[in-house]
Amino acid sequence: MNPVQLSIFANRLSGICDEMGALLRLSALSPNIKDRLDFSCAIFDAAGRLCAQAAHIPVHLGSMAYAMADLVGARDWQADDLLVVNDPYLGGTHLPDVTVVAPVFAGGVLLGFTVTRAHHANIGAHSPGSMPVSTHLDQEGLVIAPSWLKRAGQWQVPLCRRLAGLPEGDSLPEASARFADFAAQASACEAGARRLAQMGEQQGESALTAAFDALNAYGERRARARLAQLPAGQYHFSDLMDDDGQGQQDIAIQLCLTLQGDSAHLDFTGTADQVAGNINCPLSVAAAAAYYCFRCLMPEDVPACDGLFRPITLSAPSGSLLNARRPAAVAAGNVETSSRVVDVVLGALAQAAPEAIPAASQGTMNNVAMGAAGEQGWDYYETMAGGTGAHAGGPGLSAVHSHMTNTLNTPIESLEAHYPLRVHRYQLRRGSGGAGRWPGGDGIVRELEFLAPASFTLLTERRIHQPWGLAGGQPGAAGENRLNDTRLPPKYSGQARPGDRLTIASPGGGGYGGHQ
């Protein structure tokens, strides 16, 4: 393919992913998907290699790129199948992130797969919001091994009813709001599959396969060219997680980054062993964070595909925080530990390319989950914005989601319409960004009043260890959690009464450069 044809092809694939995302957002019922945009869409070739993705959630997409080949291989795929999985140790991230995969056939030939991954606020955990302060995978909800959601176009009713949280029966759970988001994911995958099949029929199956290969070869060339511009050497960086929610503090993530020629290897030897709490993660999540950091070094026009990541390898000791063994709890690993891995990788890269790397951003997703059981039960989950790190070219951004999350805060109107909550404050946390020649961005303050009894869970970081500055810049302010006048630890589960107020103050980003 000539460069023009390749560019058109890459943009057509990205357009399919965008269309899938629009359909998923418009057909989902939960605020978590339709308002916060906590979902991702991608296209893979028949071998499970990433070929296109929309600009959705980095931790979703990078982990899918790492694990999809094993997930789709050695299966008897048929037209109109749908596969569903959330098992973190078999291609997932954490249990609320549920992946749906649709095969794409044209002329009886398997061309590839369309994939959606979306966060479900109720996946059956023992606490509302399905983000508990857990110590075992089974406490975090329903574990879905790779299973047929549809087989040859037929819904697999027993599994559908389990996903909807309904007792056994023969009828489909169409009326269940909990199942509606699964159905929306299925529709988005099927719509993308139809578009990709049309491309296969227009271009021919062999031509489409060749185009996939050409796209990934081009991505690899561009990635190697960028890596070759970085000075060769070994670069070391480490950082600490605040705690695991079970009494262990100052949990180390350690990296030796080796840049050599046009390749990079990340060795996480020295990272802490897996812990009792739920900040563990499978290696696919660590890979997602590493891939994201290197993707940020690439020019914007480079397609996000499997070839982009071929020059990048990583390793972490089995049984460590970043390569946990079943049944370690992982609910916060996907959100909090992945954020710290980004800080560590960027800290190492800053030694090789100081002008290209910003100071640390807030380093947490500020996870808030709450709700109540019973007939009028409800589940609410949200991640909250903070400050980003300043850089050589300017200040950090304030009140944005950064790095491994690319979602939005739930709008006040949607939050108060769906849940027994009232928002009293939603404002910038002025002065929380680190000082420097360029200051870090400011975090936010969000204060929620409970209008009904509820359980709530906080899974947060950077409440003890501040986001670091660069080149003489000062660290950003640590975050803070409060229930009424009581300061809460970074990981906490508790009960709230009507009139109680929960306040989350998110961290600011680190500053860049000394004062002039």
pLDDT tens-digit series, residues 332-381: 999 999 999 999 999 999 999 999 999 999 999 999 999 998 777 899 99
Mean pLDDT of 374-396: 92
> CA–CA separation, 403 vs 400, rounded Å?
10
Least-confidence region, from 185-189, 308-312, 511-515: 511-515
Among 189, 204, 220, residue at a domain's last position: 220
Which pLDDT tens digit goes with each residue over 201-243?
999 999 999 999 999 999 999 999 999 999 999 999 999 999 9
> CA–CA separation, 191 vs 77, rounded Å?
18
Among 164, 196, 220, residue at a domain's last position: 220
Domain count, the chain: 2
**Other beta carbons less than 10 A from residue 180's beta carbon:** 18
In a domain, 204, yes or no: yes
Q: Are 201 and 106 in contact (CB under 8 A)?
A: yes
Strand order in the sheet with 378-382: 378-382, 367-372, 454-459, 491-496
In a domain, 13, yes or no: yes
Q: Residue 438 is encoded by which pair of tokens?
A: 């360029």
User: Sorting pLDDT into bands at 50, 70 and 90, what band is 59?
Assistant: low
> CA–CA separation, 359 vs 347, rounded Å?
8
Which pLDDT tens digit goes with each residue over 297-331?
998 888 889 999 999 999 999 999 999 999 999 99
> CA–CA separation, 379 vs 431, rounded Å?
33
In a domain, 88, yes or no: yes
In a domain, 136, yes or no: yes
Distances (CA, A) of 162 to 125, 140, 178, 252, 331: 13, 15, 10, 38, 20
pLDDT of residue 516 exceeding 60? no
In a domain, 294, yes or no: no
Whole domain around residue 466: which residue ranges? 358-516
DSSP H helices in 28-57: 31-34
Q: Which residue has the higher pLDDT, 210 or 54?
A: 210
Least-confidence region, from 125-134, 275-284, 381-390, 419-428: 125-134
Q: What is residue 57's predicted lDDT score, i.e. its pLDDT?
A: 66
Strand order in the sheet with 312-315: 233-243, 249-260, 263-267, 312-315
User: Sorting pLDDT into bands at 50, 70 and 90, what band is 60?
Assistant: low
In a domain, 84, yes or no: yes
Q: What is residue 90's predicted lDDT score, i.e. its pLDDT?
A: 87
Q: What is residue 238's predicted lDDT score, i.e. its pLDDT?
A: 98
**Which string of DSSP letters, residue by residue, matches 183-205?**
HHHHHHHHHHHHHHHHHHHHH-H
The residue written with tokens 């109109």 in the block is 80
In a domain, 98, yes or no: yes
Among 220, 250, 277, residue at a domain's last position: 220
pLDDT of residue 44 exceeding 80? yes
> CA–CA separation, 47 vs 45, rounded Å?
5
In a domain, 193, yes or no: yes
pLDDT of residue 194 exceeding 70? yes
Which pLDDT tens digit goes with each residue over 8-17?
999 999 999 9
Kind plus residue range of the DSSP H or E element containing 416: helix 412-418
pLDDT of residue 62 exceeding 80? no
Residue type, 234: Q
User: Sorting pLDDT into bands at 50, 70 and 90, what band is 69?
Assistant: confident
Q: Which of 156, 165, 158 is nearest to 130 (CA)?
A: 165
Which pLDDT tens digit goes with each residue over 469-494?
999 999 999 999 999 999 999 999 99
pLDDT of residue 174 exceeding 80? no
Contacts of 301 (CB under 8 A, 6+ apart): none
Q: What is residue 70's predicted lDDT score, i.e. its pLDDT?
A: 85
pLDDT of residue 412 exceeding 70? yes
Mean pLDDT, the chain, integer: 93
